[in-house]
Amino acid sequence: MRPLSVLIYDGDCAFCTSSVLFAERYVRPRCEITPWQFADLDSLGTTRERAEYELLWATPTGVVHGGAQAVAKLLLNAGRGWAVPGALLTLPPLRWIAHGVYRLIANHRQRMPGGTPACAVPADRRPQSPASS
């Protein structure tokens, strides 16, 4: 069993990467953070399809939370003042609203600050970098 939860994000998406950098700097969760492109998704209990679709929080026990609930788990894990909004995001109706807002942002992340056109391209159609060839 892993000692820490793992935050899994899309490393090819500039908006996702900027968001994770913000979380690392200001929220400071106690977890591993890795792009799905470099993660052993099978051992984390998830799939490439799910990782392409949403942010993931994989617990040491093998439970995987996605989207807004991954954000909630990240905030809860960070503690301090971040735990309050994290807890609120787990409660209906805020949970349902958070899910809708998350999907809206995720579906339009290429238009968000820091986003690029590559954020909108499905991973199987993205240009391959020399390191991944």
Minimum mean pLDDT range among 7-16, 58-67, 117-126: 117-126
* Domain spans of the chain, in order of start: 6-125
DSSP string, 49-66: HHHHHS-EEE-TTS-EEE
pLDDT band for 1, please (50, 70, 90 cuts): low
* Residue from 84, 80, 39, 81 nearest 57 by CA: 39
For residue range 72-110, list pLDDT tens digits in order.
999 999 999 999 999 999 999 999 999 999 999 998 887
How far is residue 25's CA from residue 22's CA, in Å, rounded to a whole number? 5
For residue range 9-60, list pLDDT tens digits in order.
999 888 899 999 999 999 999 999 999 999 999 999 999 999 999 999 999 9
Calculate the alpha carbon distances from 92 to 69, 72, 88, 89, 105 in Å: 12, 13, 8, 8, 20
Ramachandran category for residue 132: left, alpha or beta (phi over 0 → left; psi -120 to 50 → alpha): alpha
